[in-house]
Amino acid sequence: MAAASVCALCLGTPYVPPHRLAGAVLDGDTTLAGIVVTELRVPRLVLALIAGACLGAAGLVLQEALRNPLAVPEMLGVSSGAALGVAAPLVLALSLPAVVQPLLALGGAVLGGGLTLLAAGLGRSPSAVLLTGAAVAAALQAALLVLMVMADQLDLQLIYRYLLGSLSARTWDDVTGLWPWLLVAVPALVLCAPVLSVMRLGDEDAEALGVRAQRARLAALAVAVVLIAPVTAVCGPVAWVGFLAPHLARWFAPASGAVRWLPWAAVWGAVVVTVADVPARLALAPVETPAGAWTALLGVPAGIALMRSGRPGRRNRRTAAPGSAGPPGPARVATAAGGRGTHGADAAVGTTTATGASVEATGREEAR
């Protein structure tokens, strides 16, 4: 993240050496380089960090709530609904203030997520929610294509760049518009994380522990909507960040749970968007490419590779788990011996005594 942040602030036209960054940011440098850094590059970097953190955390919430590593905002109708809510007024030539855009994105995201849950039976089955969400997302994308056909040439270029997810020409006004939503989303994430750990056990076990799985899944989707909608309103649907960031968090800490994965998913999401924005701005300079194209280009293969490979330590721990392999315990041996019924209690005692030394030695070795 530090390397990508320095590259984002230094590289470009004009080039700003790293030793001049502190003076340009803190001292209010009035030169061209200082104005470009403070008014264009710094807000763009801050927006990339915030957007990536929100998308990474939302992706982990959806994956844990639905118990599916493929559950991403793009496949549940949330991102497509938010994009539709922002693009529709632009095509229909409705002049609305910029403050209303997050509300339109929120309404579209609620529409997409609500249609998914209603069609899937209010979240009764995680697999049904995921499959239904893919169908709803396809329908909303078809509606976006209809809007693109109705748009003129100038609006079409704006919509196309927006739908791919772009951080171009973003200012401090776009950054400050996200803070009210973060004040709502962060406490909701803190309350949601322990429930996600319980829901990993399955609906029946979660119900036995006092968690109503259906309501918890609805609440998780609501938290994801609050995280995704304002980011989509400002940047557009930056694709597949919510897919890659949770897998990176799990790969680096395989023995943890949702409580520890959640902050790391946010950090990795910020890293992914910040790294992707550097080639988006510089690869075809002076023409900027959308950052969402780079996140999709690099994120999907990397996420699939992480899913297929896993971490070697996790596989070793799973095979060495107590009860899955190794010598049987004394109680199990005694029970099996007693169940034969031929020699009665003497056979059980003899078998237990014969295996006692080896079991005790094995227990000492495992403890060491």
Query: pLDDT exceeding 70 applies to what percent of the chain?
Result: 82
Residue 304, Cβ density class (10 Å: 0-12 exposed, 13-18 middle, ≥19 buried)? middle
Q: What is the residue-averaged pLDDT of the chain?
A: 80
In whole angstroms, what separates CA 115 from the centre of its chain? 21
Q: Residue 124: what pLDDT? A: 59
Task: Find the mean pLDDT for residues 310-336.
Answer: 42
Task: Note the pLDDT tens digit of each residue in 7-58.
Answer: 999 998 889 888 888 877 776 667 788 888 888 999 999 999 999 999 999 9
79-91 core/surface letters (b: 16 or more CB in 10 A; e: else): bbbbbbbbbeebb
Residue of 126 and 219 predicted with greater confidence: 219
Whether residue 266 has pLDDT greater than 90 = yes
Q: Distance between CA atoms of 75 and 84, rounded to whole angstroms?
A: 15
Q: Residue 72: what pLDDT? A: 85
Task: Note the pLDDT tens digit of each residue in 150-180.
Answer: 887 777 877 888 888 889 888 898 898 888 8
Q: Residue 139: what pLDDT? A: 92
Residue of 215 and 27 predicted with greater confidence: 215
Task: Find the mean pLDDT for residues 336-352.
Answer: 40
Q: Distance between CA atoms of 262 and 38, rounded to whole angstroms?
A: 31
